[in-house]
Structure 1
Amino acid sequence: MNVLVSMAAFALAASITPGPVNIVALASGARFGFLRSQGHVLGATLGFVCLLLFTGFGLRELLAQWPLLVELVRWAGVLFLLYLAWKLASDNGQLGTGAATPSPSFWRGAAIQWLNPKAWLAAVAGMGALVGDGQAWLIWSFAAIYFLVCYLSVACWVYAGAYLTAHLRNPGQVRLFNRCMAAVLGGCALSLLHG
């Protein structure tokens, strides 16, 4: 039972802390609201759980043998996060239905996780620390726990963004908020170059 509690604590620490996925969730909640952002939440959650399962069932060894893959993922992640930051910064801030700007999708949420070096680090570190011997039941237990914790954590960021909507009353305020979030996301991306 202690290992399951440790898994939950690890999942919470890795999922609730600021990072690219949560910054996008916050901005999405502010721009599109809680319900329209659920595709991002589910995509990010399932994307990470798949990454965790792949890591637990052998990807760890592949990455150890091919360290260039880790570098490629890191650079792809940096470029993708900079692209998302640019999209946020260039948003016009218009409130309303957002028909011209679709809310973040399930697939974008999943892609962020696979291109997010923080997610790779969490998957490899979590599996290494908590499922070192690779027992299948522990891998599946960790994935189930992580699904619940990750979903709730990302949803909290979306909710916080949706709550901020009450304070973002005009396009200028929305643009300022988006540009601040873009700067944070860009900072996350650039910090990955030194990691």
Structure 2
Amino acid sequence: MTLDLFTALATFALVTVITPGPNNIMLMTSGTNFGFVRTIPHMLGIALGFPLMVVCVGLGVMQVFDLWPLSYTLLKTVSVIYLLYLAWKIANAVPPASAEADATGTPLTFLQSAAFQWVNPKAWSMALSAITLYAAGRDLAAVLWVGAVYVGVSAISTTSWTVLGQQLRRLLKRPARLRVFNRVMAALLVATLIPVLWPA
């Protein structure tokens, strides 16, 4: 891969992962509700799970959509339903500072976060675009380069959004404020579905 192509890929990857989307909204929410350290498994699940998904897409998953177009529609339906479920959970989360807080409330685990990539509409769009633009021949070396670049930029993005959420925690110490924040984040998570349901 030439330096020019690598620079273009790195820029594309950073822009796609750092802009608001389901992963980043959930990381910010987790950083606010649980803090940075407890969100680390969630961060790692994204930073490693998404690049693995990109590699899998480049090495053959795209062919499934080519051979069976209905599979993409089914995937989109499952993704929308799951994101709506996550939004409902976020909106109805009991603030940890509250006396009625559920002691079992936890952030996403590494495996949950990694698995979420497969039902994240933005992740699918990013993976398909990255492979189409930067590994069109789908040869192993090019696909691995794309995956490796996403590991690096995902580390930057996941850390940034979690720290942002952690800093917001100071402003949201009151349970009522945190509840409003969670509901706004749930609404934004639902809003990320608009480009999926009504593409331009």
In the superposition, the TM-score normalised over structure 1's length comes to 0.94
Q: Percent same amino acid at aligned positions?
A: 35
Query: Which residue in the other structure is 2:35 paired with?
Result: 33
Query: Which residue in the other structure is 1:111 paired with?
Result: 115
Is 2:139 the partner of 1:138?
no
Answer yes or no: is the 8 Å Cα contact 1:29–1:159 preserved in 2.
yes
User: Structure 2 matches for 1:124-135, cutoff 5 A?
Assistant: 124-135=128-139
2: distance between equivalents of 1:114 and 1:106?
14
SS in 1 for 2:192: helix
Query: Which residue in the other structure is 2:48 paired with?
Result: 46
1: distance between equivalents of 2:138 and 2:88?
40
Answer yes or no: is the 8 Å Cα contact 1:55–1:124 preserved in 2.
yes
Give unmatched runs, 5+ long, in structure 1: none
Is 2:93 the partner of 1:91?
yes
SS in 2 for 1:147: helix
1: distance between equivalents of 2:94 and 2:54?
36
2: distance between equivalents of 1:52 and 1:94?
35
CA deviation string 1:42-87 (max 9, x = no partner):
1112221121011111212221121111111111111111111111
Is 2:6 the partner of 1:4?
yes
Segments ≥4 residues shifted beyond 3 Å: 96-99
Is 2:116 the partner of 1:122?
no
CA deviation string 1:124-177 (max 9, x = no partner):
111111111122212111111111101220221111000101101211111010
Is 2:175 the partner of 1:171?
yes
Answer yes or no: is the 8 Å Cα contact 1:31–1:95 preserved in 2.
no
Report how far residue 190 of structure 1 moved.
Answer: 4.9
In the superposition, the TM-score normalised over structure 2's length comes to 0.92
> Alignment RMSD, CA only?
1.6
Equivalenced residues, count: 195
Query: Which residue in the other structure is 2:69 paired with?
Result: 67
2: distance between equivalents of 1:119 and 1:185?
14
Amino acid at match of 1:138: A
1: distance between equivalents of 2:195 and 2:180?
22
Report how far residue 99 of structure 1 moved.
Answer: 3.2
Give unmatched runs, 5+ long, in structure 2: none
Answer yes or no: is the 8 Å Cα contact 1:77–1:189 preserved in 2.
no
1: distance between equivalents of 2:191 and 2:142?
35
1: distance between equivalents of 2:76 and 2:37?
31
Report how far residue 98 of structure 1 moved.
Answer: 6.7
2: distance between equivalents of 1:99 and 1:35?
17
